[in-house]
Amino acid sequence: MKRLLITGANRGLGAVCRTRLQHMADIIRISARKPLDPVQPHEEVVLGDLSDKHAVEDMVRGCDGIVHMGGQSVEAPWEVIRASNIDGMYNLFEAARKHGQPRIIFASSNHAIGYYKQSERIDASVPTRPDSLYGVSKVFGEALARMYYDKFGIETATIRIGSCFPEPQDHRMLSTWLSYDDFIRLIERIFMVPRLGCPIIYGASANQASWWDNQQTAYIGWQPQDSSEQFREALDAQMEVPPADDPRSLYQGGVFTADGIHEAE
């Protein structure tokens, strides 16, 4: 690619992508709400908020691909969720429609299906069961991506990210963990495959305790190589497994299923 946009590049997985996707394009355009330092010679920085339509058009203009990691990443009051994950998603896809229809990677979440039981194994064809306002916003983003593909042909890979950290932080993450290496390998395959379409992909490594089936997206050619099993013994020594009726052991979304509605102050 000539120019790849990474949104939300100042924190979390956006920062990981900024560091590890440098080889994907001649120019890496990074967007954030606050200044980023240091800026490398082959990087462009565009400051702006996803809820600002004109700022998002400036982000997207001239890009061949988008890795959309920006937005609200945890549960929050509706006003916060709406601005970043509803209005922001619409602004992003409208900008993509107007400016070359670049291929998009959308960071969705396991919280779009959080109310499925951990005893169930599911694929991308199951109905969504969001466990939070945050999860609802991700379902909206998935639906928006599908509409823009069917109506305008914009190809988007939706990744329902599990728990992407250097290592699992609790027993639930033994099922949801996605290593940084596997995550980057997935992004590489998404931009490499000749025809993408609009798939939903579960973002998890090759964990023995997996709940998710990616057979429907095998054509992408992504084969995760890491497993959370190497961390099980250490986790067992650090903490007890939650009781079977605890949300952390019962639902795929974990504690999000037990959280209330966050109201604005």
Q: Is 134 one of the annotated active-site residues of the chain?
A: yes
Task: Give the domain extent around 210.
Answer: 3-258
In this structure, is residue 250 part of a structural domain? yes
- pLDDT tens across 130-151, in order? 999 999 999 999 999 999 999 9
Instruction: Count the residues in the chain.
Output: 265
Domain CATH for 153: 3.40.50.720
pLDDT at 150: 98
pLDDT band at 32 (very low <50, low <70, confident <90, very high): confident
Is the confidence at residue 34, as pLDDT, over 90? no
Over range 24-36, report the average pLDDT: 90
Residue found under tokens 């067992």: 236
As a whole number, the mean pLDDT across the chain is 96
Euclidean distance between the first and final Cα of the chain, in Å?
44
In this structure, is residue 52 part of a structural domain? yes
In this structure, is residue 9 part of a structural domain? yes
Kind plus residue range of the DSSP H or E element containing 43: strand 43-47
Q: How big is the CA angle at 205 (ends 132 and 3), to the nearest 5 degrees?
A: 80
* CB-CB neighbours of 111 under 10 Å: 28
- pLDDT tens across 147-165, in order? 999 999 999 999 999 999 9
In this structure, is residue 38 part of a structural domain? yes
In this structure, is residue 265 part of a structural domain? no
> CA–CA separation, 60 vs 6, rounded Å?
10
In this structure, is residue 17 part of a structural domain? yes
Is the confidence at residue 39, as pLDDT, over 90? no
pLDDT at 40: 87
Is the confidence at residue 38, as pLDDT, over 90? no
Q: Are 57 and 95 in contact (CB under 8 A)?
A: yes
- pLDDT tens across 197-212, in order? 999 999 999 999 999 9
- pLDDT tens across 55-91, in order? 999 999 999 999 999 999 999 999 999 999 999 999 9
Q: Are 156 and 187 in contact (CB under 8 A)?
A: no
Over range 181-187, report the average pLDDT: 98
pLDDT at 210: 96
> CA–CA separation, 143 vs 246, rounded Å?
31
Over range 84-102, report the average pLDDT: 97
> CA–CA separation, 129 vs 25, rounded Å?
36
Over range 22-38, report the average pLDDT: 90
| Overall number of domains in the chain | 1
Which among 136, 145, 160 has a CA at the least distance from the CA of 96?
145
In this structure, is residue 264 part of a structural domain? no
Among residues 134, 148, 149, 202, which one is catalytic?
A: 134
